[in-house]
Amino acid sequence: MNTNRFSHKITVFHGIKAPEEGVLVGYSAIIEGLQLQMPFPEQLTIISAKRRSYSTENWNVFSSRNAFDDTLYKHLVFALKYEGVNLLFFKKLFDKLSEKDITTLLQLEPTGQYSRKIWFLYECLLQKQLDIKDLTIKNFVPLIDDKMQYAIKGSRSSRHRIINNLPGTIAFCPLIFKTKKLETYINGNIAAKKNTFLNGIHKDVLQRASSFLLLKDSKASFTIEGENPGNNRAMRWGKAIGQAGQKPLSIEELIRLQQIVIENSRFLEMGMRKKGGFVGEHDRTTGEPIPDHISAKADDVEPLLKGLIATNEALQDQTYDAVLAAATIAFGFVFIHPFVDGNGRLHRYIIHHILAKKEFTQQGVIFPVSSSILDHIDDYKTVLESYSHPLLDHMVWKETDDHNVEVTNNTIDFYRYFDATKLAEFLYDCVQDTLERVIPQEVSYLQYYDAFKKHIDNNFEMPDKMVANLVRFLEQNNGVLSKRALKREFSGLNEPEIKEIEANYKHIFLEN
Protein backbone atom coordinates (compact mmCIF):
# COMPACT_ATOMS: atom_id res chain seq x y z
CA MET A 1 0.00 0.00 0.00
CA ASN A 2 1.38 3.40 -1.02
CA THR A 3 1.19 5.65 2.04
CA ASN A 4 2.74 8.78 0.53
CA ARG A 5 -0.11 10.08 -1.56
CA PHE A 6 -2.48 11.91 0.72
CA SER A 7 -1.30 15.53 1.11
CA HIS A 8 -1.52 17.99 -1.74
CA LYS A 9 -1.90 21.74 -1.94
CA ILE A 10 -5.36 23.07 -2.77
CA THR A 11 -7.22 26.34 -3.14
CA VAL A 12 -10.49 24.65 -4.23
CA PHE A 13 -11.60 21.15 -3.23
CA HIS A 14 -14.60 19.49 -4.88
CA GLY A 15 -16.08 22.89 -5.70
CA ILE A 16 -15.53 24.36 -2.23
CA LYS A 17 -13.13 27.32 -2.15
CA ALA A 18 -10.59 27.27 0.65
CA PRO A 19 -10.04 30.51 2.62
CA GLU A 20 -6.38 30.32 1.56
CA GLU A 21 -3.99 27.91 -0.10
CA GLY A 22 -3.11 24.98 2.11
CA VAL A 23 -2.26 21.28 2.29
CA LEU A 24 -5.28 19.00 2.62
CA VAL A 25 -4.89 16.75 5.68
CA GLY A 26 -6.76 14.36 7.95
CA TYR A 27 -9.95 12.54 7.04
CA SER A 28 -10.57 14.39 3.77
CA ALA A 29 -7.05 13.72 2.51
CA ILE A 30 -7.39 9.98 3.18
CA ILE A 31 -10.91 9.77 1.70
CA GLU A 32 -9.59 11.45 -1.45
CA GLY A 33 -6.35 9.47 -1.53
CA LEU A 34 -7.93 6.03 -1.07
CA GLN A 35 -11.14 6.93 -2.95
CA LEU A 36 -13.34 5.84 -0.04
CA GLN A 37 -17.00 5.82 -1.03
CA MET A 38 -18.44 8.20 1.54
CA PRO A 39 -19.25 11.91 1.94
CA PHE A 40 -16.53 14.26 3.12
CA PRO A 41 -16.78 15.67 6.67
CA GLU A 42 -18.81 18.83 7.25
CA GLN A 43 -15.56 20.73 7.73
CA LEU A 44 -12.50 20.14 5.58
CA THR A 45 -9.03 20.61 7.06
CA ILE A 46 -5.90 22.19 5.65
CA ILE A 47 -2.51 23.19 7.02
CA SER A 48 -1.52 26.68 5.91
CA ALA A 49 1.97 27.94 5.19
CA LYS A 50 1.18 30.76 7.63
CA ARG A 51 1.45 30.65 11.41
CA ARG A 52 -2.18 31.11 12.33
CA SER A 53 -5.10 28.78 12.97
CA TYR A 54 -8.80 29.54 12.54
CA SER A 55 -12.10 28.02 11.43
CA THR A 56 -14.79 29.00 8.92
CA GLU A 57 -18.13 27.35 8.14
CA ASN A 58 -16.54 24.78 5.81
CA TRP A 59 -12.88 24.78 6.83
CA ASN A 60 -10.48 24.21 9.70
CA VAL A 61 -7.19 25.97 8.94
CA PHE A 62 -4.17 24.91 10.99
CA SER A 63 -0.85 26.71 11.40
CA SER A 64 2.29 25.52 9.65
CA ARG A 65 3.48 24.43 13.11
CA ASN A 66 1.08 21.48 12.78
CA ALA A 67 2.76 20.06 9.64
CA PHE A 68 3.56 16.32 9.75
CA ASP A 69 4.91 13.51 7.59
CA ASP A 70 2.63 12.48 4.73
CA THR A 71 1.84 8.93 5.87
CA LEU A 72 -1.47 7.20 6.50
CA TYR A 73 -0.71 6.75 10.20
CA LYS A 74 0.21 10.42 10.73
CA HIS A 75 -2.95 11.54 8.95
CA LEU A 76 -5.02 9.22 11.16
CA VAL A 77 -3.37 10.55 14.32
CA PHE A 78 -4.01 14.13 13.19
CA ALA A 79 -7.65 13.34 12.35
CA LEU A 80 -8.37 11.67 15.70
CA LYS A 81 -6.64 14.47 17.59
CA TYR A 82 -8.21 17.44 15.81
CA GLU A 83 -11.26 16.17 13.86
CA GLY A 84 -12.78 13.74 16.34
CA VAL A 85 -13.95 10.18 15.75
CA ASN A 86 -15.64 9.46 12.40
CA LEU A 87 -17.10 5.95 12.57
CA LEU A 88 -18.23 5.85 8.95
CA PHE A 89 -14.71 6.77 7.84
CA PHE A 90 -13.09 4.04 9.91
CA LYS A 91 -15.57 1.42 8.70
CA LYS A 92 -14.87 2.37 5.07
CA LEU A 93 -11.11 2.46 5.72
CA PHE A 94 -11.05 -0.96 7.37
CA ASP A 95 -13.11 -2.43 4.51
CA LYS A 96 -10.48 -1.08 2.11
CA LEU A 97 -7.31 -2.19 3.91
CA SER A 98 -6.15 -5.72 4.56
CA GLU A 99 -5.71 -7.18 8.03
CA LYS A 100 -1.96 -7.18 7.39
CA ASP A 101 -2.05 -3.44 6.51
CA ILE A 102 -3.81 -2.63 9.78
CA THR A 103 -1.49 -4.81 11.87
CA THR A 104 1.56 -3.14 10.31
CA LEU A 105 0.04 0.28 10.97
CA LEU A 106 -0.59 -0.51 14.64
CA GLN A 107 2.97 -1.69 15.20
CA LEU A 108 4.31 1.82 14.53
CA GLU A 109 3.30 2.97 18.04
CA PRO A 110 1.82 -0.13 19.68
CA THR A 111 0.95 1.50 23.01
CA GLY A 112 0.23 5.02 21.73
CA GLN A 113 -3.27 6.31 22.50
CA TYR A 114 -4.16 6.82 18.85
CA SER A 115 -2.94 3.35 17.86
CA ARG A 116 -5.09 1.94 20.64
CA LYS A 117 -8.11 3.86 19.38
CA ILE A 118 -7.59 2.60 15.83
CA TRP A 119 -7.09 -0.96 17.11
CA PHE A 120 -10.24 -0.80 19.26
CA LEU A 121 -12.29 0.62 16.37
CA TYR A 122 -11.06 -2.07 13.99
CA GLU A 123 -12.01 -4.95 16.27
CA CYS A 124 -15.27 -3.29 17.27
CA LEU A 125 -16.48 -2.23 13.81
CA LEU A 126 -15.43 -5.42 12.02
CA GLN A 127 -16.19 -7.76 14.95
CA LYS A 128 -12.84 -9.42 14.26
CA GLN A 129 -9.88 -9.90 16.60
CA LEU A 130 -6.36 -9.17 15.37
CA ASP A 131 -3.40 -11.33 16.30
CA ILE A 132 -2.17 -8.83 18.90
CA LYS A 133 -1.70 -9.52 22.60
CA ASP A 134 -3.78 -7.70 25.22
CA LEU A 135 -2.11 -4.57 26.60
CA THR A 136 -0.93 -4.55 30.20
CA ILE A 137 -0.14 -0.83 30.59
CA LYS A 138 -1.97 0.96 33.38
CA ASN A 139 -3.58 4.01 31.82
CA PHE A 140 -6.91 3.97 29.98
CA VAL A 141 -7.80 6.62 27.39
CA PRO A 142 -11.34 7.58 26.33
CA LEU A 143 -12.22 6.76 22.73
CA ILE A 144 -14.22 9.99 22.30
CA ASP A 145 -12.59 13.27 23.32
CA ASP A 146 -15.50 14.79 25.25
CA LYS A 147 -14.10 18.27 24.74
CA MET A 148 -14.84 17.80 21.05
CA GLN A 149 -17.80 15.40 20.79
CA TYR A 150 -20.61 14.36 23.14
CA ALA A 151 -20.07 11.04 24.90
CA ILE A 152 -21.47 8.86 27.67
CA LYS A 153 -19.61 7.57 30.73
CA GLY A 154 -18.84 4.33 28.93
CA SER A 155 -17.14 1.08 29.85
CA ARG A 156 -13.53 -0.11 29.89
CA SER A 157 -11.89 -2.42 27.37
CA SER A 158 -9.00 -4.02 29.21
CA ARG A 159 -7.59 -5.51 26.00
CA HIS A 160 -7.04 -2.11 24.36
CA ARG A 161 -6.87 0.03 27.52
CA ILE A 162 -9.65 2.15 26.01
CA ILE A 163 -12.76 3.63 27.63
CA ASN A 164 -15.55 3.01 25.14
CA ASN A 165 -17.64 6.15 25.67
CA LEU A 166 -19.44 6.05 22.31
CA PRO A 167 -23.01 7.38 22.72
CA GLY A 168 -24.52 4.30 21.13
CA THR A 169 -23.84 0.81 19.89
CA ILE A 170 -21.79 -0.36 16.93
CA ALA A 171 -25.09 -1.25 15.23
CA PHE A 172 -26.19 2.43 15.33
CA CYS A 173 -24.08 5.34 16.55
CA PRO A 174 -24.39 8.84 15.07
CA LEU A 175 -22.05 11.37 16.71
CA ILE A 176 -22.54 15.02 17.63
CA PHE A 177 -19.81 17.65 17.83
CA LYS A 178 -19.79 20.19 20.62
CA THR A 179 -20.62 23.59 19.15
CA LYS A 180 -21.05 27.00 20.71
CA LYS A 181 -24.79 26.89 19.98
CA LEU A 182 -25.34 23.46 21.56
CA GLU A 183 -23.23 24.28 24.61
CA THR A 184 -25.19 27.53 25.11
CA TYR A 185 -28.49 25.65 24.98
CA ILE A 186 -27.36 22.85 27.29
CA ASN A 187 -25.71 25.13 29.84
CA GLY A 188 -28.73 27.44 29.70
CA ASN A 189 -30.80 24.63 31.27
CA ILE A 190 -33.88 25.10 29.11
CA ALA A 191 -35.73 22.32 30.90
CA ALA A 192 -35.54 24.18 34.25
CA LYS A 193 -36.75 27.42 32.64
CA LYS A 194 -39.65 25.52 31.09
CA ASN A 195 -40.69 24.07 34.44
CA THR A 196 -40.48 27.50 36.12
CA PHE A 197 -42.75 28.95 33.42
CA LEU A 198 -45.28 26.09 33.62
CA ASN A 199 -45.35 26.10 37.43
CA GLY A 200 -46.47 29.72 37.34
CA ILE A 201 -49.63 28.90 35.36
CA HIS A 202 -52.94 28.01 37.00
CA LYS A 203 -53.53 24.25 36.88
CA ASP A 204 -56.87 24.59 35.06
CA VAL A 205 -55.37 26.79 32.34
CA LEU A 206 -52.40 24.44 31.99
CA GLN A 207 -54.65 21.39 31.55
CA ARG A 208 -56.72 23.13 28.88
CA ALA A 209 -53.58 24.43 27.17
CA SER A 210 -52.18 20.90 27.10
CA SER A 211 -55.28 19.64 25.28
CA PHE A 212 -55.08 22.41 22.71
CA LEU A 213 -51.32 21.94 22.27
CA LEU A 214 -51.77 18.20 21.78
CA LEU A 215 -54.24 18.74 18.95
CA LYS A 216 -52.11 21.57 17.53
CA ASP A 217 -49.02 19.33 17.46
CA SER A 218 -50.93 16.44 15.89
CA LYS A 219 -52.35 18.63 13.11
CA ALA A 220 -48.95 20.24 12.50
CA SER A 221 -47.34 16.81 12.11
CA PHE A 222 -49.90 15.87 9.43
CA THR A 223 -49.52 19.24 7.71
CA ILE A 224 -45.75 18.74 7.42
CA GLU A 225 -46.56 15.59 5.42
CA GLY A 226 -48.94 17.55 3.16
CA GLU A 227 -52.08 16.08 4.75
CA ASN A 228 -55.13 17.83 6.17
CA PRO A 229 -56.71 15.38 8.63
CA GLY A 230 -60.15 15.74 10.13
CA ASN A 231 -60.42 16.51 13.83
CA ASN A 232 -61.18 12.88 14.74
CA ARG A 233 -58.04 11.57 13.04
CA ALA A 234 -55.90 14.36 14.49
CA MET A 235 -57.34 13.74 17.97
CA ARG A 236 -56.64 10.00 17.68
CA TRP A 237 -53.00 10.65 16.80
CA GLY A 238 -52.86 13.38 19.45
CA LYS A 239 -53.95 10.83 22.04
CA ALA A 240 -51.05 8.57 20.98
CA ILE A 241 -48.62 11.50 21.27
CA GLY A 242 -50.00 12.24 24.73
CA GLN A 243 -48.95 8.74 25.83
CA ALA A 244 -45.37 9.22 24.60
CA GLY A 245 -42.78 7.93 27.03
CA GLN A 246 -45.11 5.46 28.72
CA LYS A 247 -44.20 2.36 26.70
CA PRO A 248 -40.66 1.26 25.79
CA LEU A 249 -39.55 1.95 22.23
CA SER A 250 -39.55 -1.29 20.25
CA ILE A 251 -40.22 -2.53 16.72
CA GLU A 252 -43.59 -3.85 17.86
CA GLU A 253 -44.48 -0.47 19.40
CA LEU A 254 -43.49 1.38 16.22
CA ILE A 255 -45.68 -0.95 14.14
CA ARG A 256 -48.58 -0.37 16.57
CA LEU A 257 -48.16 3.39 16.23
CA GLN A 258 -48.06 3.15 12.44
CA GLN A 259 -51.46 1.44 12.57
CA ILE A 260 -52.81 4.43 14.51
CA VAL A 261 -51.38 7.09 12.22
CA ILE A 262 -52.45 5.42 8.93
CA GLU A 263 -56.23 5.73 8.70
CA ASN A 264 -56.73 3.79 5.48
CA SER A 265 -54.33 0.92 4.89
CA ARG A 266 -56.19 -0.64 1.93
CA PHE A 267 -53.50 0.36 -0.56
CA LEU A 268 -50.46 0.08 1.72
CA GLU A 269 -48.30 -2.75 2.96
CA MET A 270 -48.16 -2.12 6.70
CA GLY A 271 -45.19 -2.89 8.91
CA MET A 272 -41.56 -2.95 7.87
CA ARG A 273 -40.84 -2.39 4.19
CA LYS A 274 -40.17 -5.42 1.99
CA LYS A 275 -39.00 -3.29 -0.95
CA GLY A 276 -36.75 -0.31 -1.52
CA GLY A 277 -37.97 3.20 -0.89
CA PHE A 278 -37.20 6.83 -1.57
CA VAL A 279 -38.46 10.33 -0.91
CA GLY A 280 -38.78 12.52 -3.98
CA GLU A 281 -40.63 12.80 -7.28
CA HIS A 282 -41.18 10.80 -10.46
CA ASP A 283 -40.43 12.08 -13.94
CA ARG A 284 -43.80 13.14 -15.40
CA THR A 285 -43.10 11.53 -18.75
CA THR A 286 -41.22 8.35 -17.96
CA GLY A 287 -42.13 7.77 -14.31
CA GLU A 288 -38.43 7.42 -13.47
CA PRO A 289 -37.65 8.05 -9.77
CA ILE A 290 -36.03 11.40 -8.91
CA PRO A 291 -34.95 10.80 -5.31
CA ASP A 292 -34.11 13.46 -2.73
CA HIS A 293 -33.49 10.73 -0.17
CA ILE A 294 -33.00 7.01 -0.60
CA SER A 295 -34.22 4.86 2.27
CA ALA A 296 -32.29 1.98 3.79
CA LYS A 297 -32.45 -1.29 1.87
CA ALA A 298 -35.36 -3.49 2.95
CA ASP A 299 -33.01 -6.23 4.20
CA ASP A 300 -31.19 -3.65 6.37
CA VAL A 301 -34.28 -2.21 8.05
CA GLU A 302 -34.64 -4.74 10.87
CA PRO A 303 -30.96 -4.75 11.97
CA LEU A 304 -30.87 -0.96 11.77
CA LEU A 305 -34.00 -0.61 13.90
CA LYS A 306 -32.64 -3.09 16.44
CA GLY A 307 -29.45 -1.04 16.63
CA LEU A 308 -31.41 2.20 16.95
CA ILE A 309 -33.50 0.79 19.80
CA ALA A 310 -30.39 -0.51 21.61
CA THR A 311 -28.76 2.90 21.28
CA ASN A 312 -31.90 4.55 22.61
CA GLU A 313 -31.50 2.40 25.71
CA ALA A 314 -27.85 3.43 26.03
CA LEU A 315 -28.80 7.11 25.79
CA GLN A 316 -31.13 6.82 28.77
CA ASP A 317 -27.91 7.53 30.69
CA GLN A 318 -28.92 10.51 32.85
CA THR A 319 -25.75 12.40 31.97
CA TYR A 320 -26.62 12.48 28.25
CA ASP A 321 -28.69 15.47 27.17
CA ALA A 322 -32.34 14.72 26.30
CA VAL A 323 -32.52 16.86 23.16
CA LEU A 324 -29.29 15.39 21.77
CA ALA A 325 -30.68 11.90 22.38
CA ALA A 326 -33.97 12.81 20.70
CA ALA A 327 -32.16 14.19 17.64
CA THR A 328 -29.98 11.08 17.36
CA ILE A 329 -32.82 8.56 17.52
CA ALA A 330 -35.62 10.48 15.78
CA PHE A 331 -33.59 11.62 12.78
CA GLY A 332 -31.90 8.23 12.57
CA PHE A 333 -35.37 6.67 12.31
CA VAL A 334 -36.57 8.97 9.54
CA PHE A 335 -33.37 8.43 7.52
CA ILE A 336 -33.86 4.65 7.74
CA HIS A 337 -37.50 5.18 6.65
CA PRO A 338 -38.53 1.68 7.74
CA PHE A 339 -42.19 1.87 6.65
CA VAL A 340 -43.92 2.59 3.36
CA ASP A 341 -45.87 5.42 5.03
CA GLY A 342 -46.08 7.13 8.42
CA ASN A 343 -42.31 7.60 8.91
CA GLY A 344 -42.41 11.41 9.30
CA ARG A 345 -45.11 11.41 11.96
CA LEU A 346 -43.45 8.55 13.83
CA HIS A 347 -40.13 10.42 13.62
CA ARG A 348 -41.72 13.39 15.41
CA TYR A 349 -43.47 11.05 17.86
CA ILE A 350 -40.04 9.68 18.82
CA ILE A 351 -38.95 13.22 19.70
CA HIS A 352 -41.88 13.43 22.12
CA HIS A 353 -41.17 9.95 23.44
CA ILE A 354 -37.53 10.60 24.29
CA LEU A 355 -38.12 14.06 25.77
CA ALA A 356 -40.80 12.52 27.99
CA LYS A 357 -38.77 9.40 28.85
CA LYS A 358 -35.76 11.50 29.86
CA GLU A 359 -38.11 13.78 31.87
CA PHE A 360 -37.40 16.88 29.80
CA THR A 361 -41.14 17.40 29.48
CA GLN A 362 -43.46 17.64 32.46
CA GLN A 363 -45.84 14.75 33.09
CA GLY A 364 -49.08 15.32 31.17
CA VAL A 365 -47.83 18.39 29.30
CA ILE A 366 -47.07 17.86 25.63
CA PHE A 367 -44.16 19.78 24.16
CA PRO A 368 -45.57 20.79 20.73
CA VAL A 369 -42.31 20.73 18.83
CA SER A 370 -44.06 19.78 15.55
CA SER A 371 -45.71 23.22 15.54
CA SER A 372 -42.31 24.88 15.65
CA ILE A 373 -40.96 22.52 12.96
CA LEU A 374 -43.91 23.47 10.73
CA ASP A 375 -43.19 27.16 11.29
CA HIS A 376 -39.56 26.51 10.26
CA ILE A 377 -40.32 24.04 7.48
CA ASP A 378 -37.64 25.36 5.10
CA ASP A 379 -34.95 24.94 7.76
CA TYR A 380 -36.32 21.45 8.46
CA LYS A 381 -36.01 20.45 4.81
CA THR A 382 -32.52 21.94 4.61
CA VAL A 383 -31.27 20.01 7.62
CA LEU A 384 -32.74 16.75 6.29
CA GLU A 385 -31.10 17.36 2.92
CA SER A 386 -27.75 18.08 4.59
CA TYR A 387 -27.71 14.36 5.40
CA SER A 388 -29.51 12.91 2.37
CA HIS A 389 -28.07 14.77 -0.59
CA PRO A 390 -24.34 14.03 -0.04
CA LEU A 391 -25.19 10.31 0.16
CA LEU A 392 -26.89 10.21 -3.26
CA ASP A 393 -23.47 10.29 -4.94
CA HIS A 394 -22.56 7.06 -3.14
CA MET A 395 -25.79 5.14 -3.77
CA VAL A 396 -25.85 2.73 -6.71
CA TRP A 397 -29.44 2.04 -7.69
CA LYS A 398 -31.63 1.00 -10.58
CA GLU A 399 -35.28 1.63 -11.39
CA THR A 400 -37.71 -1.21 -10.74
CA ASP A 401 -40.72 -2.16 -12.85
CA ASP A 402 -43.01 -0.23 -10.51
CA HIS A 403 -40.79 2.91 -10.72
CA ASN A 404 -39.27 2.36 -7.29
CA VAL A 405 -35.53 2.23 -6.56
CA GLU A 406 -33.45 -0.87 -5.92
CA VAL A 407 -30.11 -0.13 -4.26
CA THR A 408 -27.39 -2.51 -5.44
CA ASN A 409 -24.39 -1.53 -3.28
CA ASN A 410 -23.78 -1.93 0.45
CA THR A 411 -25.24 1.13 2.20
CA ILE A 412 -26.14 0.03 5.75
CA ASP A 413 -23.26 1.97 7.35
CA PHE A 414 -24.57 5.27 5.95
CA TYR A 415 -27.59 4.90 8.25
CA ARG A 416 -25.57 3.71 11.24
CA TYR A 417 -22.85 6.34 11.41
CA PHE A 418 -23.45 9.97 10.53
CA ASP A 419 -22.76 13.43 11.89
CA ALA A 420 -25.91 14.52 13.74
CA THR A 421 -24.61 17.96 14.81
CA LYS A 422 -26.78 20.08 12.49
CA LEU A 423 -29.81 17.93 13.35
CA ALA A 424 -29.27 18.48 17.08
CA GLU A 425 -28.83 22.24 16.59
CA PHE A 426 -32.07 22.41 14.58
CA LEU A 427 -34.02 20.42 17.16
CA TYR A 428 -32.70 22.60 19.99
CA ASP A 429 -33.74 25.70 18.00
CA CYS A 430 -37.26 24.27 17.79
CA VAL A 431 -37.30 23.33 21.49
CA GLN A 432 -36.25 26.88 22.42
CA ASP A 433 -38.86 28.36 20.06
CA THR A 434 -41.53 26.09 21.53
CA LEU A 435 -40.67 27.25 25.03
CA GLU A 436 -40.37 30.95 24.25
CA ARG A 437 -43.18 31.33 21.68
CA VAL A 438 -45.49 28.39 20.99
CA ILE A 439 -46.47 27.44 24.57
CA PRO A 440 -46.67 31.03 25.90
CA GLN A 441 -48.87 32.04 22.94
CA GLU A 442 -51.31 29.21 23.66
CA VAL A 443 -51.38 29.89 27.40
CA SER A 444 -51.80 33.65 26.83
CA TYR A 445 -54.63 33.01 24.38
CA LEU A 446 -56.52 30.94 26.96
CA GLN A 447 -55.95 33.62 29.61
CA TYR A 448 -57.24 36.30 27.21
CA TYR A 449 -60.18 34.09 26.29
CA ASP A 450 -61.11 33.59 29.94
CA ALA A 451 -60.94 37.33 30.62
CA PHE A 452 -63.09 38.10 27.56
CA LYS A 453 -65.59 35.34 28.43
CA LYS A 454 -65.87 36.64 31.99
CA HIS A 455 -66.79 40.09 30.65
CA ILE A 456 -69.40 38.57 28.27
CA ASP A 457 -70.82 36.35 31.04
CA ASN A 458 -71.17 39.29 33.43
CA ASN A 459 -72.84 41.58 30.89
CA PHE A 460 -74.65 39.42 28.33
CA GLU A 461 -75.04 35.90 29.78
CA MET A 462 -74.37 34.22 26.44
CA PRO A 463 -74.13 30.39 26.24
CA ASP A 464 -70.55 29.06 26.08
CA LYS A 465 -71.00 27.90 22.47
CA MET A 466 -72.15 31.34 21.44
CA VAL A 467 -69.15 32.96 23.15
CA ALA A 468 -66.84 30.60 21.24
CA ASN A 469 -68.52 31.59 17.96
CA LEU A 470 -68.25 35.27 18.91
CA VAL A 471 -64.51 34.97 19.49
CA ARG A 472 -64.04 33.08 16.24
CA PHE A 473 -65.86 35.74 14.21
CA LEU A 474 -63.89 38.53 15.89
CA GLU A 475 -60.62 36.69 15.21
CA GLN A 476 -61.48 36.28 11.54
CA ASN A 477 -62.19 39.99 11.03
CA ASN A 478 -59.51 41.67 13.17
CA GLY A 479 -61.79 42.44 16.11
CA VAL A 480 -64.85 43.58 14.13
CA LEU A 481 -68.08 41.58 13.72
CA SER A 482 -68.99 41.14 10.05
CA LYS A 483 -72.33 42.29 8.67
CA ARG A 484 -73.27 38.67 8.00
CA ALA A 485 -72.61 37.68 11.64
CA LEU A 486 -74.64 40.66 12.92
CA LYS A 487 -77.58 39.75 10.71
CA ARG A 488 -77.59 36.09 11.68
CA GLU A 489 -75.81 34.76 14.82
CA PHE A 490 -75.71 38.05 16.75
CA SER A 491 -78.81 39.85 15.51
CA GLY A 492 -79.92 40.31 19.12
CA LEU A 493 -77.14 42.82 19.86
CA ASN A 494 -77.75 46.55 19.56
CA GLU A 495 -75.24 49.13 18.31
CA PRO A 496 -73.80 50.19 21.73
CA GLU A 497 -73.41 46.53 22.77
CA ILE A 498 -71.59 45.69 19.53
CA LYS A 499 -69.15 48.57 20.04
CA GLU A 500 -68.56 47.55 23.68
CA ILE A 501 -67.86 43.90 22.74
CA GLU A 502 -65.51 44.88 19.90
CA ALA A 503 -63.66 47.38 22.09
CA ASN A 504 -63.30 44.83 24.89
CA TYR A 505 -62.03 42.17 22.47
CA LYS A 506 -59.42 44.53 21.00
CA HIS A 507 -58.27 45.60 24.46
CA ILE A 508 -57.81 42.02 25.68
CA PHE A 509 -56.62 40.17 22.57
CA LEU A 510 -54.97 42.77 20.36
CA GLU A 511 -53.44 45.30 22.76
CA ASN A 512 -51.67 42.86 25.10
Q: What would the pLDDT profile of 126-173 be if each residue is shown by its tens digit?
A: 999 999 999 999 899 999 999 999 999 999 999 999 999 999 999 999
Residue 195: is its pLDDT beyond 60? yes
Other beta carbons within 10 angstroms of residue 466's beta carbon come to 15
Three-state secondary structure call for residue 377: helix
Q: What is the mean pLDDT of the chain?
A: 91
Identify whether the C-beta of residue 24 lies closer than 8 Å to the C-beta of residue 44: yes
Spatial separation of the C-alpha atoms in residues 39 and 82, rounded to whole Å:
19
- Among the listed ranges 168-177, 294-303, 446-455, which one has the minimum average pLDDT value? 446-455
Rounded mean pLDDT of 444-449?
89
- Domain 180-261+271-436 class, CATH top level: mainly alpha
* Residues 6+ away with beta carbon under 8 Å from 385: 292, 293
Identify whether the C-beta of residue 164 lies closer than 8 Å to the C-beta of residue 155: yes
Identify whether the C-beta of residue 29 lies closer than 8 Å to the C-beta of residue 79: no
Give the residue among 150, 412, 455, 193 at the shortest CA–CA distance from 307. Answer: 412
Give the residue among 345, 146, 67 at the shortest CA–CA distance from 45. Answer: 67
Handedness of CA 130, 132, 138, 141 (dihedral sign): negative
Q: What is the model's pLDDT at position 197?
A: 67
Q: Cα–Cα–Cα angle for 325, 329, 335, nearest 5°?
A: 145
Spatial separation of the C-alpha atoms in residues 444 and 441, rounded to whole Å:
5
Spatial separation of the C-alpha atoms in residues 137 and 158, rounded to whole Å:
10
Please tell me the pTM assigned to this model: 0.91
Q: What is the model's pLDDT at position 2?
A: 47
Q: What is the model's pLDDT at position 239?
A: 81
Higher pLDDT, 77 or 462: 77
Q: What is the model's pLDDT at position 365?
A: 61
- Name the residue ranges covered by the structural domains of the chain: 1-85, 97-166, 180-261+271-436, 460-510
Q: What is the model's pLDDT at position 505?
A: 92
